Amino acid sequence: MDIASEAIQSMLVKFKSERKWTLQALAQLSEEDIIWSATPESNSIANLVSHIRGCVHSRIETIYYDIPDTRDRDKEFEPGLRLSHEEAYHMAAEAFDIIIQYLEHLQAHPELLLSRPFINRPPLTYSQVDNETTVLNLMIAMVREVHYHTGQIIYAAKIRKGQLEWQYD
């Protein structure tokens, strides 16, 4: 297996695992848990899920589906953002499904890993990637970003629920 295929496979395993644990945590929460934040300045699980979904939209859907970036990043972090339990769960599942689908596409086309998909697009406005970034750098940034925020989601879920129940398979 070449390095590109190995990197893609490693990311695919990572995101499938993140999906599993995040959705299991979300399934155990109430709507009140999802909109709760530790302090007025803290993000709620609703904010974090919304942010993950926004990142997936602006970083993956725009290149994979060639759709315009309509992300409203400020709204993702609005204090008091309300999502129902179903909305939060669906939004998280959808974000992970898009990431996994894109990685499966890359598995079939590993030569795309070093491509620069944003090179001929309007300037990007977020700091993690710029128009010169490669798909590899983009996906490495996504691994870091999503893992960071799913850790926050699971931590907040544990604060709210105490012990969470996990299904290992």
Query: For 100-103, which contacts have Cβ atoms below 8 Å and span 24 or more sequence positions?
Result: 100/12, 100/15, 100/16, 100/19, 101/64, 102/60, 102/64, 103/8, 103/11, 103/12, 103/15, 103/139
Read off the pLDDT of residues 31-89 as tens digits, 9 standing for 90 and up: 999 999 999 999 999 999 999 999 999 889 988 888 888 889 999 999 999 999 999 99
Q: Which is more confident, 16 or 129?
A: 16
What lies within 8 Å, CB to CB, of 149 at 6+ separation is: 48, 51, 52
Per-residue b or e along 60-95, where b marks 16 or more CB atoms closer than 10 Å to that residue's CB? bbbbbeeeebebeeeebeeeebebebeebbebbbeb
Looking at residue 138, what is its pLDDT? 93
Read off the pLDDT of residues 84-130 as tens digits, 9 standing for 90 and up: 999 999 999 999 999 999 999 999 999 999 999 988 887 776 667 78
With 0.85 as the threshold, say if the pTM is over it.
yes
